[in-house]
Amino acid sequence: MANSSELGSSSSPHLPSAGGLLSASGLKLATLGLILCVSLAGNVLFAWLILKDRHLHRAPYYLLLDLCLADGLRSLACFPFVMLSVRSGAAWPHGPLSCKVLAFLAVLFCFHAAFLLFCVGVTRYMAIAHHRFYAKRMTGWTCLAVVCMVWTLSMAMAFPPVFDVGTYKFIREEEQCIFEHRYVKANDTLGFMLMLAAVIAATHLVYIKLLFFIHGHRKMKPAQLVPAISQNWTFHGPGATGQAAANWTAGFGRGPTPPTLVGIRQATHSQIKRLLVLEEFKMEKRLCKMFYMITLLFLLLWSPYIVACYLRVFIKASSIPQVYLTTSVWMTFAQAGVNPILCFIFNKELRVCLRAHFPTPQKPY
């Protein structure tokens, strides 16, 4: 039993008035046009900023660059055709092959975002819980390998329906080419939806584990400074002040190191290194917050549509209100444009780089 109708079929015997259709179509076109403009402008600006600024040439921003580029491509490749179908009165004016290609791209970008956010969550956990291993292994080539793996997995999930293993069709109720989620007795797309839900759930489990790790290590032992040592009324050591402290820290001294000072300079260097590690830890925590907000918003914007898909698998399509289905579809479209906004809101480093490249004019006195 199919839950979705193709071109030319009607889902309800009571058709809305022409004025209502025009106003609803106009609202959809305006909303999707705004999402398209925000997505292209934000993602292109973000990608240019990462490529331009050398301070952002680091592993987390490389992964974020791939996510934003994919969102921009999704907006450019898919949204104009959705707008065309809305303008045509919820009809697909092209052939079935183009519909399959468009549905393939839509599913590809969806699974790409899910898999990439999972990989980002794993790298965030490594950056906090195993920082030395992360700093040594998470290079640009490693990021490239992660990105290639994510695209390969996404292709594997999106390609089978091209050969009718899970059908790609134009769904009139959604006004887009996507999976045809049929009733459970004739369903062949349930596995794809279960995989998407499993990846999203696994991503949040990684962040929950990271939260417990940070909570368990929130009370770190403070650095213990070694007091100054006096030898012939000359003070040496971390507790010394003035020029003697500067000379000691820089490694200057006369003759062999006194026995009482052996190991003190090495201790100070380890303390300085530890303070640097603490600063890196705080920076990684800020990046974790930004990435989790992106992951959380992905869940919030895609959850209504995923619920609608499961309802069409286990319940008849007529049980789902059209308003709910349309709203859930447009929420998934909005996800393509919100990531750059979240990045600039929750990342001070990005805001500083943006102001550096686009300085605000000073007001004349």
Kindly indicate the confidence band of residue 116, based on its pLDDT and cuts at 50, 70 and 90: very high
> H-type helices in the chain, by residue range?
18-52, 59-87, 96-129, 131-137, 140-158, 190-216, 243-250, 264-314, 322-346, 348-357
Ramachandran quadrant class, 255 (left: phi over 0; alpha: psi -120 to 50; beta: rest): left
Q: Could you give the percent of the chain with pLDDT greater than 70?
A: 71
Q: Which residue has the tokens 């992951």?
A: 295
Would you state the structure tokens that stand for residue 43, as one six-digit string? 């993602």
Q: Which of 92-106, 166-180, 211-225 has the least mean pLDDT?
A: 211-225
Q: What is the pLDDT of residues 329-348, one digit of tens each?
A: 999 999 998 988 998 898 88
pLDDT of residue 69: 93
DSSP state of 95: -
Q: What is the pLDDT of residues 189-212, one digit of tens each?
A: 677 888 888 999 999 999 999 888
pLDDT of residue 223: 47
Cβ–Cβ < 8 Å for 256, 262: no
How long, in residues, is the chain? 365
What single string gives the DSSP state of each residue in 130-194? SHHHHHHH--HHHHHHHHHHHHHHHHHHHSGGGGTSS-EEEETTTTEEEE----GGG---HHHHH
Give burial (CB, 10 Å; 0-12/13-18/19+) of 9: exposed
